[in-house]
């Protein structure tokens, strides 16, 4: 009960006009029955051993009043309206408990009388006394198992009797559903702006029950013993309820109920009755007459000698000729364009460095031979994108051609040699299976050992000449006794250059705890596919390292953990010895991995991946 309300529930039991007991239950339940330990002990036919007569609904201002079939009650609301239980109990509108007893709702401010055998129990709300009455503990209710009754199907159907300005008429709606609204296709069509276009007022439910969905715009009531109890009274007694404000009031009742709906000048009486026999007669199926189709007869004499031409083009002879001409022109153009397109040749322009890579060994043989002074172009083609330096021999004649300025031959020759090697790149280091030999570097060293040198092709200019005083050094030493290039080709051997040119071998074998993979819903094949995506990045970084250190090799160990979201964490990369320069590139590649999210994974999965890096053999 709310704190701002002063009155409390009071109960007085009377017998033969005398008060037997007075009770102030508060939030406790009051029991009644034939047992001696009830709050109100009543010995009467049909009286159970014990039931809860009245108890307060938790956190509300309503009470549940429980009555057996042999008991009766009259409840008077605070506004003066009265309700007799015996008049309404046969309508099936009251809720029942597990023992089949009826449960009525009592609101704050109501008062009433309950007849139970020779006892008359009065209840109402009074001002609380100054001294609170002693509270007694309620007795535990004994739950009895009640066998479910067999429901016999009720063959009665919904009958509607409509009275309006056009007279009275009776109908049995299809499927026992009654709709009302402004649309013409409703069971009852009423032009009322407050009603929707269609509203289902009555429809059958389970166990031979019916559902009433009452909207406030529809008035009327339930007929009980010749009198009508308005719907407003049933709503006030909580017999018609709505799930939330604005929804229709719901009432589930059986087929013994009848009543009336009133809306404007229309009254609809509803009840349940056996439909007439003609209602069950099936409607005859419409008879479809079969018509024999006669085949069409064509008079071929009315067609031309070649009727298919005009029929296919659907035109006169002049239009037919024009169409054929356009078709011929289109076919000729298509054939011509096809022939031209078929003979198109796509020429791919290659740089000079790319052409050297395609055939380096053959090119090196040509360059090893000292060309005549009148020939030009070959040396320029090789070194056209690098500076040309003159190399002079201070001790005597050079094996190239003209003289170089004094004092700068060694420095300029070394710079020119470095530019040549860096420009030619991998093209000079051999072709492997394609070239079949050591490649360009072998040809260069052969030319150096012979002392012929490598001429630029221009008269009087030698890019790399032999050693002074007879050219005894050549490219084999890249510097003679009398001057020239102050560098030695012995620091980069033919085998080292060839190893850099060929592809390095990069292999890996990942491993992870199998139990962790099974729990996370992952498998090693998908992890291996993801790691294979960074293999090319590792190999590219390793081949870049081989340009400076052709003999670099070893095993890189990568460790990380896969999170449930698929990202990697705890990345650790071990690059021992000569592979230390790969640390940054490999770490960046591993951090870019993402294995995708796994809903079953709850913890990180550790993964270890050794990468074996082997230089070309």
Q: Please compute the mean of the pLDDT values over residues 96-101 and round it to a whole number.
A: 87
User: What CATH code is carried by the domain that includes residue 592?
Assistant: 3.30.2420
Q: Which of the pair, 571 or 398, is modelled with greater confidence?
A: 571
Q: What is the pLDDT of residue 572?
A: 92
Residue 135 lies in a domain: no
Q: What is the pLDDT of residue 300?
A: 60
- Tell me the residue range of the domain where 339 lies: 316-346
Domain's final residue, options 346, 368, 392: 346
Do 213 and 107 share a structural domain? no
Do 356 and 470 share a structural domain? yes
Q: What is the pLDDT of residue 5?
A: 60
232-236, 460-464, 516-520, 606-610: least confident range: 460-464
Q: Which of the pair, 231 or 1, is modelled with greater confidence?
A: 231
CA angle, residues 166, 201, 181, in degrees to nearest 5: 50
Q: What is the pLDDT of residue 360?
A: 47
Strands 178-181 and 188-189: parallel
Do 563 and 465 share a structural domain? no
Dump pLDDT digits (tens) for 139-191: 777 776 666 656 566 778 888 888 888 888 888 888 889 998 888 888 888 88
Do 191 and 106 share a structural domain? no
Picking from 575, 523, 527, the residue whose alpha carbon sits closest to that of residue 549 is 575
Residue 292 lies in a domain: no
Residue 295 lies in a domain: no
Do 469 and 381 share a structural domain? yes
Q: What is the pLDDT of residue 293?
A: 77
Dump pLDDT digits (tens) for 269-325: 899 888 877 666 666 778 888 887 777 665 665 555 454 544 444 445 667 788 888
Q: Which of the pair, 401 or 202, is modelled with greater confidence?
A: 202
Q: What is the pLDDT of residue 557?
A: 93
Q: What is the pLDDT of residue 95?
A: 86
Residue 152 lies in a domain: no
Look at residue 114 and tell me whether its pLDDT is greater than 90.
yes
d(CA 138, CA 140): 6
Do 334 and 380 share a structural domain? no
Q: What is the pLDDT of residue 455?
A: 38
Do 97 and 178 share a structural domain? no
Residue 311 lies in a domain: no
Give the chain's domain count. Answer: 5
Q: Please compute the mean of the pLDDT values over residues 511-532 and round it to a whole number.
A: 86
Q: What is the pLDDT of residue 257?
A: 87
Do 203 and 186 share a structural domain? yes
Domain's final residue, options 346, 367, 396: 346
Domain's final residue, options 276, 306, 336: 276
Mean pLDDT for all residues in the chain: 73
Match 């060929």 to its residue by tokens. Answer: 502
Do 496 and 356 share a structural domain? yes
Look at residue 507 and tell me whether its pLDDT is greater than 50.
yes
Residue 134 lies in a domain: no
Strands 157-164 and 178-181: unpaired
Residue 131 lies in a domain: no
Strand ranges (DSSP E) for 215-346?
219-224, 227-230, 249-253, 259-263, 266-273
d(CA 28, CA 250): 31
Dump pLDDT digits (tens) for 317-365: 667 788 888 889 998 898 888 776 766 655 666 666 666 555 545 445 4
**19 has which bridge partners?**
14
Q: What is the pLDDT of residue 601?
A: 87
Q: Please compute the mean of the pLDDT values over residues 590-598 and round it to a whole number.
A: 89
Q: Which two tokens stand for residue 339?
A: 């022939």
Look at residue 221 and tell me whether its pLDDT is greater than 70.
yes
Q: Which two tokens stand for residue 159?
A: 């009958």
Q: What is the pLDDT of residue 352?
A: 61
Do 522 and 408 share a structural domain? no
Residue 283 lies in a domain: no
Do 176 and 121 share a structural domain? no
Residue 608 pLDDT grade (very low, low, confident, very high; cuts 50, 70, 90)? very high
Look at residue 20 and tell me whether its pLDDT is greater than 90.
no
Do 362 and 493 share a structural domain? yes
Q: Are 178 and 188 in contact (CB under 8 A)?
A: yes
């Amino acid at each position: 009960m709310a704190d701002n309300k002063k009155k409390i529930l009071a109960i007085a039991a009377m017998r033969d006009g005398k008060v037997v007991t007075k009770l102030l239950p508060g939030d406790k339940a009051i029991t009644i029955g034939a047992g001696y330990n009830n709050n109100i002990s009543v010995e009467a036919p049909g009286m159970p051993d014990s039931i809860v007569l009245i108890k307060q609904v938790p956190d509300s201002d309503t009470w549940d009043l429980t009555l057996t079939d042999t008991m009766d009650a009259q409840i008077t609301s605070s506004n003066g309206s009265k309700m007799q239980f015996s008049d309404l109990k046969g309508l099936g509108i009251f809720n029942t408990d597990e023992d089949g007893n009826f449960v009525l709702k009592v609101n704050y401010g109501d008062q009433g009388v309950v007849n139970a055998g020779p006892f008359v129990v009065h209840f109402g709300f009074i001002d609380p006394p100054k001294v609170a009455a002693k509270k007694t503990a309620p007795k535990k209710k004994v739950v009895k198992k009640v066998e479910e009754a067999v429901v016999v199907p009720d063959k009665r159907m919904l009958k509607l009797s409509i009275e309006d300005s056009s007279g009275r008429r009776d109908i049995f709606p299809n499927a026992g559903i009654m709709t009302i609204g402004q649309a013409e296709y409703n069971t009852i069509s009423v032009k009322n702006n407050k009603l929707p276009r269609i509203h289902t007022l009555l429809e059958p439910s389970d166990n031979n029950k019916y559902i009433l969905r009452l909207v406030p715009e529809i008035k009327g009531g339930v007929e009980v013993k010749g009198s009508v109890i308005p719907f407003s009274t049933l709503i006030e007694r909580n017999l018609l309820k709505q799930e939330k404000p604005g929804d229709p009031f719901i009432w589930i009742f059986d087929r013994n109920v009848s009543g009336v709906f009133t809306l404007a000048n229309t009254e609809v009486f509803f009840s349940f009755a056996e439909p007439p026999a003609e209602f069950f007669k099936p409607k005859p199926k419409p008879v479809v007459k079969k018509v024999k189709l006669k085949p069409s007869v064509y008079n071929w004499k009315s067609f031309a000698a070649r009727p298919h031409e005009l029929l296919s083009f659907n035109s006169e002879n002049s239009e037919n000729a024009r169409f054929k001409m356009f078709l011929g022109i289109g076919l000729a153009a298509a054939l011509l364009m096809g022939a031209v397109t078929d003979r198109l040749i796509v020429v791919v322009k290659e740089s000079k460095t790319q052409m050297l890579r395609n055939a380096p060994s053959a090119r090196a043989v040509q360059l090893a031979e000292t060309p005549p002074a009148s020939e030009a172009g070959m040396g320029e083609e090789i070194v056209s994108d690098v500076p040309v330096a003159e190399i002079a021999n201070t001790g005597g004649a050079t094996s190239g051609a003209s003289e170089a300025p004094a004092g700068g031959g060694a420095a300029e020759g070394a710079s020119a040699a470095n530019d040549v090697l860096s420009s030619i790149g991998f093209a000079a280091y051999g072709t492997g299976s394609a070239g079949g030999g050591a490649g360009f570097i072998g040809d260069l060293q052969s030319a150096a050992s012979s002392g012929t040198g490598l001429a630029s092709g221009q008269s009087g200019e030698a890019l790399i000449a032999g050693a002074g005083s007879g050219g005894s050094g050549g490219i084999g030493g890249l510097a003679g006794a009398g001057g020239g290039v102050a560098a030695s080709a012995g620091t980069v051997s033919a085998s080292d250059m060839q190893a850099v040119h060929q592809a390095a071998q990069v292999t890996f074998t990942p491993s992870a705890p199998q139990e962790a993979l099974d729990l996370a819903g992952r498998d090693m094949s998908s992890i291996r596919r993801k790691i294979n995506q960074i293999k090319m990045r590792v190999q590219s970084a390793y081949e870049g390292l081989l340009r400076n250190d052709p003999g670099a090799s070893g095993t890189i160990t990568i460790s990380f953990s896969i999170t449930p979201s698929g990202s990697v964490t705890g990345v650790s990369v071990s690059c021992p010895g000569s592979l230390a320069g790969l640390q940054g590139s490999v770490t960046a590649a591993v951090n870019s991995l993402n294995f995708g999210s796994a809903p079953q994974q709850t913890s990180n999965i550790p993964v270890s991946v050794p990468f074996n890096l082997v230089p070309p053999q």
